[in-house]
Structure 1
Amino acid sequence: MSMLSATMLLSSCEDSFLEKEPYASVPIGSAITTEQEMQAAMNGVYASMRTFETFGRNIPVLGDLLADNTYIAPTNSGRYLNQNTFALTASSAEPTEMWNNLYETILRANIVINAELPEADAEVVSQLKGEAYAVRALAYHELVKFFAKPYTVDPNAAGVPIVTEFDQNAEPARNTVAEVYSQIIADYTKAFEMMEAGASDASYMSKYAARALQARAYLFMGDYENAKTAAQDVVDNGGYELVSAANFVDYWQNPVPVSNQVETIFEISIDAIDNNGSNALANIYDQGGYGDILATTDLYNTYTEDDVRLGVILVGERGGVNPAYIVNKYSNRTNPSDKDDIKVIRYAEVLLILAEAQARTGDDASALETLNMLVAERGVEAYTSTGGQLVEDILEERRKELAFEGHRYHTLTRLNLPITRTSEHPSAARLIPVGDPRRIQPIPQGEIDANPNITQNDDY
């Protein structure tokens, strides 16, 4: 039986419904009969996203390491060496872990989505199912970004299997990339319709978190009109604001979920009890932990002297690398009570999506206004560019703003640009040209062995 049809259990404990702590014991196939059980199952969905195999470390790390923002220091603990050299195989650990854990999240979300509670509070059920639809869409988007050709390159290419109901005997084939994106957009639309506008804090999916993530999905489809519409909706109606230049570094040092709608739209909560220990995201960057991954000199040099974003990159030394540019966006590795939450989408990204969509649909004036709204809070001079140069400026700001959050690799792949890495990378992996099969992660060998209907990506 493949991972797509594997059974799973949600964890159990005794917290109250309103506290929203994971406490469910809801086996696959068992009926959810109360609001409390549905909330418990949804808490299990969120808990499944926390693991280091997905959002807790691998997704944000690989989104930079597979591109030109970071590299593995010569002195290292042996982690991510295959990604640093682009030498993955179908048996490599990280793709397998990511595939399995993202499908576990999808299976957990499906429990909530497919539950029937005719006598429960309709608003509560609608909210929880909306959250589950949004998480399912997010998980599918990560899968199709890592394991398939970009929509903008070949929408008819093999994507990933769409699984919306539990069937332990299922052996699903890969849907096309276009079919997967259709499912993603539909799920975000359902989520937006079903949820209320507010959330207790950014560690729970909300109406405008779903809309922001939908704008991201449209951008990856090259559907700039719909990306613009969705992003503008978040700007006009979401109630979010940018973190100011004066508070930028403090924002990244904050160890608890954001509840004031400043910057964070959706994040995954990590705390003293529920965390990844030595596998935490901070530990791979912090020189007091593994400290394996450094920012490239090329990235560091893109920032101007007054850019506040330099405040989360330290200049030091690492195993003979001097200067070593040390990532400090995640600074709570040793915090005894809390850890660094994982930012999944921020308001800054929504503005960058909006600016790019505006520029690509011929509205340079609005794109400039949107871009300059962001850079005004980052200590960067206002832009005056137009046309192709404006698009390049937006992409450069995207690289600088979202560095170390897992976006750079996906930007290069969706735009079908070569991955040009620096001399700090191994020589055999400094240029990953357009069309190189190594740009796509391998389908795990275990999945291939278990499911005869799954096909492998080229050259694995």
Structure 2
Amino acid sequence: MKTYIKIILVFTLSILSVSCENKLDIDPSQSLTTEDAFDTPEKVTNILIGAYAQAGQAASYGGQLYTIAELLANDQELKWNGTFTDPGEFNNKVINTDNTFVANLWLNGYDISNQANIVLDNLDVFENLDRRNSVEGQAKFLRAVTYFDLVRFFSKHNNNRINDGEPGVPIIRTPIITLEDVTYPSRNTIGEVYEFVINDLEDAIVLLPETNGVFASTNAAKALLARIQLQIGNYEAARDLSNEVIQSGRFLITENLDDAYNNDDNSTEDIFAWQVTDSDGANSMNTFWATDRFGGRPGNPDISIEDAFFGIFDDFNDLRASYFYVDSETGSGIASYKWILGNANIPFIRLPEMHLIRAESNFILGTAIGTDPINDVNLVRFRSNAFLLSDLTYVDIILERLKELAFEGHKLHDFKRLEVPIGALSFDDSRLVLPIPQREINVNPNLLPQNDGY
């Protein structure tokens, strides 16, 4: 029976209290107080499920995080048609410190982190070691996911460790349950945040099972760590981790492009996806990226695809170049088929990304761990009916990332790590970094200094 557990968790960096409603298959309904909320494995596991649900909200991995990244990275490939002010600020690269999307991304991130911290602080209730390890690994995976994106959005790019000493985001390791637990931390350095995230994922890789249903597995932790190592320029680690995920044999690139998106269940290539159900999770990508025929807003999709985007394709037989539609009866612009179902899961880490990470890392290092880089790139191209390359350049690999991972939140971070300008803006322009929300600074002046340009 589908019922509701309301777990009252006092947390905030600034507001001092929030509550999180988790929908779980538990009977009967019950209200948990702070005195008894953590005294059994089932209750702690429920809080972990709540952390997944919180991550799947629209404010972050339910879609707005990807939309922020894509609009910030936009250089005439996209057009913002929407009426909401806040997303338009990302597209224009002029962001106010009271932008609600920014504030909600920050708060939701720390909500996820706090629930993960609560789980990690109550592991002693588990007598079964395997179950304890899995719960601990999942909590550390979710915490790592959150801090990785918080530091990428709210701090400068680490720039091959040059900016390690620059302000990052506050790391909070202990749970906040009551008002007495609230602290007012300063910002940790970028280097400290990356070290924290990498340590969490290294622990998660050891603790998690190889398969774990829709929840985080050791392969999901390896895949995320491969993404992180690529971001900071550690190509050897990125290569080896992506190779391990590929070699696990647990995942397979889908035969058809349609099978990779708009799924109720994970596809064969989903290493990890955010789950969207009738009771949990959200898919705001559908809201902003689809036309009203598929559940988006009336008229044009809020974000339409412009002609400039299609210049990255070298073969218009490539199915990814035609994975779009126009609702001519409403006069809509071009929309992507990736986000046409509002109740579909949101892919987070797909197998093609691992092949492209391995290809790029092998190319940079002059190695062929797993296979030659051209084979990885051609494997991704083959699914989309693009002609197979006979020779490979570094630009080919990056263009393949832009084609395969389009509209999934990667371009901004790729251009930063590759030091590629976005339009007239340098990769390290302050306008490509989100401001610390002003309401957070008002309550906690220790968050100063504010990011440059705000």
TM-score norm. by structure 1 comes to 0.86
Judging changes above 3 Å, is the alpha-carbon distance between structure 1 residues 315 and 42 closer, same or farther for their aligned structure 2 residues?
Answer: same
Number of residue-to-residue matches in the alignment: 427
Aligned partner of residue 243 in structure 1, secondary structure: coil
Match of 2:432 in 1: 439
Check whether the contact 1:208–1:238 (CA below 8 A) recurs between aligned residues: no
The equivalent of 2:391 in structure 1 is: 385
**Could you say what secondary structure the match of 2:304 adopts?**
strand
Query: Which residue matches 1:205?
Result: 216
SS in 2 for 1:266: strand
- Which of 350, 360, 363 is 2:364 aligned to? 360
Does residue 15 (structure 1) correspond to residue 25 (structure 2)? The answer is yes
Shift of 1:318: 9.4
Contact residue 137 and residue 185 of structure 1 kept, 8 A: yes
State which drifts further: 356-365 or 87-96. Answer: 356-365
Gaps of 5+ in 2: 1-9
CA distance in 2, matches of 1:363, 1:165: 42
Residue 103 (structure 1) shift: 0.7
The one-character-per-residue Cα deviations of 1:32-65 (angstroms, maximum 9, x if unpaired) are: 2222112201110011012111111211112211
Taking the aligned partners of 1:342 and 1:257, their CA distance within structure 2 comes to 10
**Distance change (3 Å), C-alpha of 1:213 and 1:104:** same
User: Conserved in 2, the CA contact under 8 Å of 1:3 and 1:447?
Assistant: no
Q: Map 1:127-138 onto structure 2 (within 5 A).
A: 127-138=134-145
Q: Distance in 1 between matches of 2:102 and 2:291?
A: 26
How big is each residue's C-alpha offset from its partner over 1:88-135, in whole Å with a ceiling of 9 and x where there is no partner? 021111111100101100001111112132552111111111111001
Q: For 1:26-105, what aligned pairs fall within 5 Å after superposition? A: 32-68=38-74, 70-74=77-81, 76=83, 78=85, 80-105=87-112
Cα pair distance change 1:118/1:292, threshold 3 Å: closer
Q: Supply the AA of the counterpart residue of 1:86.
A: K
Alpha-carbon shift at residue 394 of structure 1 (Å): 0.8
C-alpha deviation, 1:373, in angstroms? 1.8
| Percentage of pairs with the same residue | 27
Q: Give the 3-state SS of the residue equivalent to 1:11 in structure 2.
A: strand
Q: Judging changes above 3 Å, is the alpha-carbon distance between structure 1 residues 28 and 297 closer, same or farther for their aligned structure 2 residues?
A: farther
Q: 2:149 aligns with which of 142, 145, 158?
A: 142
List runs of 5+ in structure 1 lacking aligned partners: 18-22, 334-338, 421-430
Question: How far off its partner does 1:342 sit?
Answer: 1.1
Distance in 2 separating the partners of 1:410 and 1:417? 10
Matched AA of 1:205: A
Deviation at 1:243, TM superposition (A): 1.1
DSSP-derived class of the 2:377 partner? helix
What corresponds to 1:424 in structure 2? none
Distance (Å, rounded) in 1 between the aligned partners of 2:35 and 2:164: 33
- Report SS of the residue matched to 2:21: coil
The 8 Å contact of residues 11 and 114 in structure 2, kept in 1 or not, is answered as: no
SS of the aligned residue for 1:4 comes to: coil
CA separation of 1:274/1:118 partners in 2, compared to 1, >3 Å: closer, same or farther? Answer: closer
Deviation of the 1:145 alpha carbon: 0.7
Report the Cα distance in structure 2 between the residues aligned to 1:90 and 1:416, rounded to whole angstroms: 26
Structure 2 match to 1:457: 451
CA–CA separation in structure 2 for the residues paired with 1:273 and 1:404: 26
TM-score (norm 2): 0.87
Alpha-carbon distance between aligned partners in 2 of 1:403 and 1:318, rounded to the nearest angstrom: 26
